[in-house]
Amino acid sequence: MRYTFNLVDRQWIPCVTTYGRRVELGLRELFRRVHELREIRGDSPLETISLYRLVLAVLHRVYGPRTLGEWSSLWNAGRGGWDLERLDDYLNRWYDRFDIFDNDHPFYQMVGFSANRESPVSRLFQELASGNNPTLFDHSYDHRVEPRHASAAARALVAHQTFALGGGRSPTGYTRDAPLASSVAVLLTGDNLFETLMFNLVRYDPLNSEPIPAFDADRPAWERNDPILPAETRPVLGYLDLLTWQSRAIRFIPEGEPTDPWVSRLYYGQGEVLDLENTIDPQVPLVRCNKDLSRLRLFPERAVWRDSTVLIDINSSDTQPAKASSWVATLRRGRILDRTHPIRLSAYGMATGQAKVELWREEHIPLSLDYLEDQQLLARLRAELAKAESVGESLDNALFVLAKFIVCPAADEPGVKYDRTVVRRVADQFNAVSHYWASLEVPFYSLALDLVGDMEEAILEWNASIKRLAWEALGIELDGVERDSRTLKASVNARRVLGAGLARVLGREGS
């Protein structure tokens, strides 16, 4: 009995059509319908970006492009459909390697791998409880295994190879972080899937070490004939190798009907170790930390849009945006891409702590491409973001003062001492700062678009939003504590601190 589920023709990649309908497609059909599809949409942001990386790896392998001219030809020809014969030839050539149950080369797995004990398939899903992974969105447990259809298992496999967290023991050694485990990854997205894939199909020439150094003939994981070497660190061969990095040694144990399999158990271990500190991923922005450029990370308390300038400043020595940003700027300068073509920045990632997932996030930030070339415009956006940060600090100071006078009403009297640690602990229980930043996201998107047009009016509206939302956030907390003269004093002082901060940052508009 031979199990089979081939990703070339079987339905497994979730997509959304331009009419908003959700469909699942195989690789071959996805490439044929790129103009009918709005986007790839996985069950989580981790699945979404991982599937994009897989699809991009196939496109790079088939088309390159090595030059601006090759990209331009793909862009112009692709409006009516890519040269699908080249894609079909490639998928047919490697067809067996895309079967997740192939006997000799199971897709994204280690042939013949086994361990003393089996792991539940839930181990591949970051949102499920398994082993030492805490429950994030689900309440399943290792002893109550729920089988997953081969399509869902395949998606989870691709995402896990990209986002697996290190920190535990496995049969093949201690586990290490996968390529995107603790990083923000960025895509430039267009009006449909064709545009999105093209904007991120950056110049690729392994012979000239683009876009990352190549130490050997670069190739995707499914083309490798040599087995992966678990727990061994090796240099990245090139971009295709990185996009399809095998961070875990995995082998599915299929069950059910041979042509319609399910997976509930698998063998699991550490795969090849990636030297993250010395590997530049073209989809991951870098930001200066002390003297070095480090990967942009996701933090639970900080949305990615607050670092928008890091994602688009292609001229600063303190930042290095995703490769697609500078690539699209090059296309615009070469008049290959229309200057007014709408593009969004999409950011994906997960926040981690102590080898556990705290949250994941997906953000879509509408930004004019003028920011890639107009340094004055970019500086203005950076200055307006700095205003919001300063007001956020003033709001936090106001909360500290509120907590201070709740804990010690006589804190302003001579000689009276209070415990700052206790006050800070009380202040941290307030949610005003989180409310402020969450409420400011939509006004920021308006600012980012409107600055390109009427800058003065955009700034006036932004200042008004900052002021209104800061007072609104503090007011929510004050409504909950203003009960007697003791807390009234705390409230008055908190308002005073925020008012002074607004006046300092916004000037006349803040008073």
Residue 226: name the closest of 308, 104, 339 by CA: 104
What strand order describes the sheet that includes 344-353?
185-189, 344-353, 356-366
**Side chain identity, residue 456:** E
Question: Token pair for residue 320?
Answer: 């290095």
Report pLDDT digits (tens) over 386-405. 999 999 999 999 999 999 98
Chain Cα centroid distance, residue 441: 17
Packing angle, helices 485-506 and 455-481, rounded to 10: 170
The per-residue pLDDT for 377 is: 92
Alpha helix ranges (H) inside 130-178 = 150-163
Query: What are the two backbone dihedrals, phi and then psi, of residue 249, each rounded to the nearest 5 degrees?
Result: -90, 110
Task: Give the sheet arrangement for strand 286-289, strand by strand.
Answer: 292-295, 286-289, 319-320
pLDDT, tens digit, 9 for 90 and up, residues 221-276: 999 988 888 888 888 989 999 999 999 999 999 999 999 999 999 999 999 999 88
Check if the beta carbon of residue 303 is closer than 8 Å to that of residue 262.
no
Q: Cβ distance 351 to 311 under 8 Å? A: no
Which pLDDT value is given to residue 373?
A: 85
Q: What is the per-residue pLDDT across 309-356, written as a single tens digit (0 to 9) for each?
A: 888 888 888 889 999 999 999 998 888 887 777 778 999 999 887 667
Q: Note the pLDDT of residue 413.
A: 85
Phi, psi of 358 (to 5 degrees): -95, -40
The pLDDT, as a whole number, for residue 359 is: 85
The residue ranking higher by pLDDT, 355 or 53, is 53
In 3D, which of 316, 241, 265, 328 has the Cα closest to residue 286? 316
pLDDT in tens, 141-167: 445 578 999 999 999 999 999 999 998
Q: In the prediction, which pLDDT does 83 show?
A: 81
pLDDT digits (tens, 9 = 90+) for 450-493: 999 889 999 999 999 999 999 999 999 998 776 667 788 889 99
- Rounded to a whole number of angstroms, the distance between the first and last alpha carbons of the chain is 77
349 CB-near residues (< 8 Å, 6+ apart): 45, 180, 183, 184, 185, 297, 298, 304, 360, 361
Quote the pLDDT of residue 300: 86
pLDDT digits (tens, 9 = 90+) for 198-223: 999 999 977 666 776 655 589 999 99
Task: Provide the pLDDT confidence category of residue 137 given band limits of 50, 70 and 90.
Answer: very low
Residues 304, 298: contact at Cβ < 8 Å?
Answer: yes
Contact 474, 401 (CB under 8 A): no
Q: How long a stretch of residues is the chain?
A: 511
> Given this model, what pLDDT does residue 315 score?
87
Mean pLDDT in residue range 117-133: 75
68-87 pLDDT, tens digit each = 999 999 998 866 667 889 99
| pLDDT above 90 as % of the chain | 63
Average pLDDT, the chain: 89
- Domains of the chain with CATH codes: 13-278 (no CATH), 286-372 (no CATH), 377-510 (1.10.132.100)
User: CA-to-CA distance for 146 and 144, rounded, in angstroms?
Assistant: 6
The candidate with the shortest Cα–Cα distance to 51, out of 160, 214, 141, 124, is 160
Contact 192, 20 (CB under 8 A): no
Predicted pLDDT at 132? 46
